[in-house]
Amino acid sequence: AFNFNAGPAALPEVVLLEAQKHLLNFNGTGMSVMELSHRSKDYEEVHNSAQSQLRKLLQIPDNYEILFVQGGASLQFSMVPMNLLSEDKTGYYVLTGAWSEKALKEAQKVGNTKILASTKEENYRSIPQLDLDLLQEDAAYLHITSNNTIYGTQWQSFPDLKVPLIADMSSDILSRPLDISKFGLIYAGAQKNLGPSGVTVVIVKKDLISEPLDHLPTMLNYQTFSKNNSLYNTPPTFAIYLLKLVLDWVENEGGLAALERKNIEKAKYLYDAIDESDGFFKGHASKESRSNMNVTFTLPTEDDTKNFLDAAKKQGFIGLNGHRSVGGCRASIYNAVPLEHVQRLAEFMKTYR
Ligand code: PLP
């Protein structure tokens, strides 16, 4: 299958083969990783090396914690304001799509919020320019969605702020090098670039979570995770094991700079197929905001879209239907989608037209 699913998405074949090879007997234990105690030495090694690999690849400074949480990125929509938004402060949000709307909606249940900028009126075709003067003294943080999975837009650079910048990076973490020090907190559900669903990675500056927040439910308090190395309760051990294998794969691919080059090359094949189609394929995102992870496009009519998707499916292209809020098509080309699959899709788009 040529898997262009938006998530859960394609994983590197070598990772799956490696997991298969050790499925019944991990590290000579005679057991599968998923059968190991999460308190065992063998599992702890997996857990700690997933963290240290992530620290190395993303060059995460020592004053940041790496946490493994469950509940998906959707739970982070609530945990961020519960942990970082106090009564006298305001959480600022930039709306760039359905996921940032959902993040805002959860924060509104917790405390004061304001929308700093939004491109909703143009159906989220672009990333807005920010007027940082609007970010007032009362700001607890500014929340953004670095890549908008549904609309196919991506922040090309990140602002320097005096308040913590919080980013939902679920659909583009590890797709390019990052300056972590610009951020107060980053979170990402694993099921696109990091591994299978089940684990959510949170990277957070230690001083942001230093105040005791005893009123919070234990499992919704970042301190529970930071104080217990994300082993307060049973973590999703198999998902973390696969995350570790994916991180090893990223290193073997040459790290984030190499992956970024590859991602730009892959996306270019599809954007060229769109731009050179005399308007037959229309990109949803405006050019300066285009995502290298999710390429969204429409065809002249709904019938055309349906025919295109049917024909694509017959050729083995999976997951190309767009999200219902945009319509049309979406090709998700995360790190693990091979260049050759993208080239084939670009060729197919040209031939189909
Ligand atoms: N944020 C973004 C940018 C996403 O793409 C998604 C899922 O596709 C989510 C949040 C929700 O993630 P989860 O299903 O892990 O809660």
Q: How far apart are CA 105 and CA 89, in angstroms?
A: 17
Residue 7, in any domain of the structure: no
Q: Do both 269 and 337 map to the same domain?
A: yes
The complex's ipTM works out to 0.99
Q: Residue 55 pLDDT > 90, yes or no?
A: yes
133 falls in which pLDDT band (50, 70, 90)? Answer: very high
Q: Is 89 an active-site residue?
A: no
Q: Is 37 annotated as a binding residue?
A: no
Q: Is 248 an active-site residue?
A: no
Q: Residue 338 pLDDT > 90, yes or no?
A: yes
CATH code: domain of residue 135: 3.40.640.10
Give the closest residue to 224 by CA, choosing from 81, 63, 79: 79
Point out the domain boundary residue: 217, 252, 287: 252
Residue 179, in any domain of the structure: yes
Tell me, in angstroms, the distance from the centre of ligand 1 to residue 276's CA: 32
Tell me, in angstroms, the distance from the centre of ligand 1 to residue 332's CA: 14
CB 231 within 8 A of CB 37: no
Q: Residue 136 pLDDT > 90, yes or no?
A: no
Among the listed residues 155, 172, 192, 248, the single catalytic one is 192
DSSP bridge partners of 70: none
Q: Do both 245 and 281 map to the same domain?
A: no
Tell me, in angstroms, the distance from the centre of ligand 1 to residue 189's CA: 6
Residue ID of nearest Cα to ligand 1 atom 5:
149
CB 142 within 8 A of CB 161: yes
Q: Please tell me the total number of residues recorded for the chain in this structure.
A: 353
Q: Do both 230 and 295 map to the same domain?
A: no
pLDDT in tens, 3-24: 999 999 999 999 999 999 999 9
Q: Is 191 annotated as a binding residue?
A: yes
Q: Do both 86 and 151 map to the same domain?
A: yes
Q: Residue 287: give the domain boundaries.
A: 255-352
Residue 334, in any domain of the structure: yes
CB 271 within 8 A of CB 343: no
Closest ligand 1 atom to Cα of 169:
3
pLDDT in tens, 75-129: 999 999 999 999 999 999 999 999 999 999 999 999 999 999 999 999 999 999 9
Q: Do both 21 and 129 map to the same domain?
A: yes
Per residue in 163-178, is it b (16+ CB within 10 Å) or e — as a string? bbbbbbbbbbbbbbeb
Q: Residue 324 pLDDT > 90, yes or no?
A: no
Q: Is 249 an active-site residue?
A: no
Q: Residue 108: which residues within 8 A CB-CB, separation 6 or more?
A: none
Give the closest residue to 67 by CA, choosing from 217, 192, 235: 235
Q: Do both 117 and 218 map to the same domain?
A: yes
Residue 133, in any domain of the structure: yes
Where helices occur in 201-338 by DSSP H, the ranges are 222-227, 237-252, 255-275, 302-314
Q: How far apart are CA 125 and CA 284, in angstroms?
A: 6
DSSP track, 335-348? TTS-HHHHHHHHHH
Look at the pTM and tell me if it is higher than 0.95.
yes
